Amino acid sequence: QVQLVESGGGLVEPGGSLRLSCAASESLLGFYVMSWYRQAPGNQRELVAALYSDDSKVYAGSVKGRFTISGDHAKDTVYLQMNSLKPEDTAVYYCNLDRGSSVYWGQGTQVTVSS
């Protein structure tokens, strides 16, 4: 059972930046996809960004150019750098690991963008 531990959420003013981290409890080998999802109150959970084991990346249109997903294979950690934050980015952000046969979720971290 892989555990995903997220950190880095908080309160930031519009236009500010935050970096989220997601650390896996074991080494990531073979095929996998590490993703960030978010869920705002009253909304469905949506994909924000995904990092594949071949280092390819996918972004939601609403965050493209503002958010960057990256990975540190030595630390089994994935990051989400969020710049130019907007109030509509406010949500609980979840880390997700998809190994094809198994899917794991982190506990979520709150991001609030407000003045």
**Residue 27: predicted pLDDT:** 86
**Residue 88: predicted pLDDT:** 97
**Residue 26: predicted pLDDT:** 87
**Residue 28: predicted pLDDT:** 81
Q: d(Cα 47, Cα 56) in Å, to the nearest integer?
A: 15
**Residue 106: predicted pLDDT:** 96
Nearest Cα neighbor of 77 from 48, 103, 110, 51 is 51
**Residue 73: predicted pLDDT:** 79
Q: Please measure the distance between the N-terminal and C-terminal CA atoms of the chain and give it in whole angstroms.
A: 40
**Residue 84: predicted pLDDT:** 98
The list of the chain residues with pLDDT below 50 reads: none
Q: Which residues pair with 91 in a beta bridge?
A: 111
* Contact assessment for residue 78 and residue 34, using Cβ atoms and an 8 Å cutoff: yes
